[in-house]
Structure 1
C-alpha cells in the first residue's frame, strides 16, 4: 500500500469516532454535553446568584461595584439568549440590570480603570437587543472615557494617550479583552469606525509587544510566564475583534496573523484529554478550566468563521468542550478555575494560585463556548 494511501486511511479513521460521528463535528454532542443544555444551566446559575465581588464570604459581604467577571458572564448570558432565540431568558438578564439604573446605582463602576470600563459592554448589548436609548448613553460613556485622558493622569498614561492609544494601556495581556470588548461594542451600536479602528490599533500594539516567537504570550513584559487565562483573554479578544473588524481595516491582516500564530501554538500544547494548563508550556502545571474555555471559544469561532481548518481545529475545539463539561459539578459550577491573578515574574506565583469552584472567570467563557457552538 502506498504511503499516500496509508495517510488518507489513517486520517479517515482518526477523524471519525466509533459511532461514525466525526471528531470535528461541532453540532452533535453526547447526552448531557449539548451546548444548549450546558448554556442554560450556567445562565440559570448566574441569574440565581448575587453579584460576585466578594464571593461566598461568611457572613456575606455586599459588593461595592459590579466587576469584570460579572460583566463577562452577563455578556455571555445575553449572547446565549440571542443565539438560542430565548427572549424570556434575555428579559431576565435585562431585569437583572434594572436595579443598577435605580436603587443600586452605587454599584456602577467608575470609568477609571481598564477592568472597570469593560462594564459598558453590558448596557451596549442591552441597547443592541432592545433599542432602548437609556442603555446607549451609559454604555458609550465607558467606551469614550477609555480614550479621554483624565486630569490627574500619570506621565505614562499621558504618554500612551499622546501616541493615540488608550490612557489605560498597561501591556498586560488581560487588557486585550477589556479594551477591545467595549470598543467593539461601541462600534456595533454606532457604526462609527473610530471605535473599531482604535481597538485594532491597540491590539496590534500588544501583539508587537508581547507575542512570543512560539505564538504564545507572556502575562506582561515583566512577567515571563505564559499564564493560561491571560493568554485566553488574548485568544478571545482576537477572535471577537476579527468577527467584527471590517475587511478593509489596515490592521486586520496583522491581527489575523497573530491569531493564526497563537492558534497553531495552542494545538501543540493541548493535552490528550482536551485541556490546557495553568502555565501553558509547563508540563508540571495543573489543568485549568477558564483558559481551556477561552481557547476552545477562539477555536470554535475560527472554525465557524472559516479562518481555521475545520478538521484540525474542529477536533481540538470539540475535545476542549467535552473536557470542560467533565469539570462542571452538580451545582452547575465549573471547578479548577484559577483565581484572579496579578503579574509576577515567578513560576511559583502562577503554579500556586488558588483553584476556585464556580468562579465567574470560568463560568463566563463556558457560556461563550455554548453560545459559539449554537450560533
Structure 2
C-alpha cells in the first residue's frame, strides 16, 4: 500500500510540475492588468499624449528623434496586432501635422538615426493603405542606399557604398536596428526583395565584424564592455529582420546562427527577477529596462516563430515581461532607463549613467513586446 501511495504521490507531483512548467512558459494567459493588451494600450495612449520629447535637454527637438520614431513604430504595430482602430486613428492624427505645420520636423535621412523615421509612415501605409505614407517612407528607404549625400557623409561612405552597403554604415551596433527597421518595413510595404536583401547583407557585415565568440557585442571595438542597450538594438534588429527575411535568402542561415548564439548567451545572464543588467555580464551592474525590453522582444519573436525552444525561452520571456512591467509607475512611464550614452573605455562610466523615467528608449521596446506577444 505504501508503495502504491508513493507512486501516486510521485505521479501527481510530476503532473503538477508539468502543469506549472507549461504555465511558466505560457505566453497567452496573464494576470489581470499585466496582459500585453492592457499594458500596450496604456503605453500607446501615454505616447499619444506626450509632445515630441527631447530627454536630457531643456528645449524641444528640432526634428523627430529616433527614440520617438521607435516608440511611434511600436505603438503602430501594437495597434495593428490588437486591431484597435481608435488607436490607429489617433496615431495617424499625431502624424498629420508633419504634412503641414510641422513638416520641418521630418528629419533629413542623412544618418541612420534620422532615416529610421521612414519606418513610421511605412507602417501607417500598411495600416491605412494611403499612398502619401508609402511615398514618404519609400523615398527615405531609397535614399539610405542611394549615392552618398549630405554634410554628414564620412570619407568611408563611398567605400561602403561601393561594397553594396549603405553609405550610412559606421559599424555601431545601434545601426542594426535603425537600418533593419527601415529596410524591412520597405520590403513589407512594397514586396520588393531588394529592400530585405539590403538589410540582410548589412546585417551579415556587422555580425562578421562585431559579434564576439559568446554571441554578444562590445559597445565599440575600443570599448570592451557589453553595454545592455547597445546589445538590445542588435538583438531586436536581428529579430525584426528574421521575421520577414525569406528562408531561401542567401544570408538567412548566417543571420539565424548569429541570432541564436546571442539568445543562448543572454539566457545565461538573465536575473532571477527576469531583467538584464546595464552591463550584461557584470553582477555589480543595475537592472536596466530598455535593454530588458529589447531582449524580451527578440526572444518573444524567436518563440513565436519556432526559432527558439518554446519551453526554455518561453519561461525566460514570461519572467522577463512580468519583471519588466513592475518598473512602470502610475503614469505608465518605465523607470530605470539608461540615459543616452556615448562610448568610453571605463567600466565605472557605465555603472554611473543616469537612470531616467519615461525615456522613450524604454517605452518603445515595451510596445514592441506587446505587439509581438499578440502576433500569431
TM-score normalised by L of structure 1? 0.93
For the Cα contact (< 8 Å) 2:296–2:317, is it kept in 1? yes
Note closer, same or farther for the CA distance 1:343–1:187 as it changes in structure 2 (3 Å cut).
same
Report the counterpart of residue 245 of structure 1 in structure 2.
245
Note closer, same or farther for the CA distance 1:9–1:167 as it changes in structure 2 (3 Å cut).
farther
Q: Does 1:130 align with 2:128?
A: yes
Residue 154 of structure 1 aligns to a residue whose secondary structure is: coil
Report the counterpart of residue 53 of structure 1 in structure 2.
54
Distance (whole Å) between structure 1 residues aligned to residue 188 and residue 170 of structure 2: 25
Deviations 1:135-159 (A, max 9, x none): 1111112111111211663321111
Structure 2: runs of 5 or more not aligned: 4-10
Q: Does 1:150 align with 2:145?
A: no
Distance (whole Å) between structure 2 residues aligned to residue 13 and residue 194 of structure 1: 51
Distance (whole Å) between structure 2 residues aligned to residue 151 and residue 173 of structure 1: 22
Structure 1: runs of 5 or more not aligned: 2-7
2:97 pairs with one of 77, 84, 99: 99
1:75 pairs with one of 73, 76, 82: 73
Distance (whole Å) between structure 2 residues aligned to residue 258 and residue 127 of structure 1: 31
Note closer, same or farther for the CA distance 1:134–1:273 as it changes in structure 2 (3 Å cut).
same
Report the counterpart of residue 233 of structure 1 in structure 2.
233
Note closer, same or farther for the CA distance 1:15–1:232 as it changes in structure 2 (3 Å cut).
farther
Residue 343 of structure 1 deviates from its aligned partner by 2.0
Distance (whole Å) between structure 2 residues aligned to residue 295 and residue 100 of structure 1: 32
Report the counterpart of residue 6 of structure 2 in structure 1.
none
Report the counterpart of residue 5 of structure 1 in structure 2.
none
Distance (whole Å) between structure 2 residues aligned to residue 157 and residue 367 of structure 1: 33
Report the counterpart of residue 35 of structure 1 in structure 2.
36
Deviations 1:298-338 (A, max 9, x none): 11111111111000000000000000111000111000001
Distance (whole Å) between structure 1 residues aligned to residue 117 and residue 363 of structure 2: 17
TM-score normalised by L of structure 2? 0.93
- Indicate the larger mover: 346-355 or 176-185: 346-355
Report the counterpart of residue 176 of structure 1 in structure 2.
176
For the Cα contact (< 8 Å) 2:228–2:277, is it kept in 1? yes
Distance (whole Å) between structure 1 residues aligned to residue 349 and residue 124 of structure 2: 38
Distance (whole Å) between structure 1 residues aligned to residue 74 and residue 231 of structure 2: 19
Distance (whole Å) between structure 2 residues aligned to residue 240 and residue 9 of structure 1: 42
Report the counterpart of residue 332 of structure 1 in structure 2.
332
Residue 210 of structure 1 deviates from its aligned partner by 1.0
Residue 31 of structure 1 deviates from its aligned partner by 1.5
Q: Does 1:202 align with 2:228?
A: no
Report the counterpart of residue 289 of structure 1 in structure 2.
289
Distance (whole Å) between structure 2 residues aligned to residue 119 and residue 317 of structure 1: 28
Residue 349 of structure 1 aligns to a residue whose secondary structure is: helix
Q: Does 1:116 align with 2:117?
A: no
Residue 10 of structure 1 deviates from its aligned partner by 8.9
Residue 53 of structure 1 deviates from its aligned partner by 2.0
- Indicate the larger mover: 309-318 or 27-36: 27-36
Matched pairs, number: 365
Note closer, same or farther for the CA distance 1:146–1:10 as it changes in structure 2 (3 Å cut).
farther
Query: Could you say what the CA RMSD is over the residues aligned between the two structures, in angstroms?
Result: 1.9
For the Cα contact (< 8 Å) 1:147–1:165, is it kept in 2? yes
Note closer, same or farther for the CA distance 1:179–1:11 as it changes in structure 2 (3 Å cut).
farther
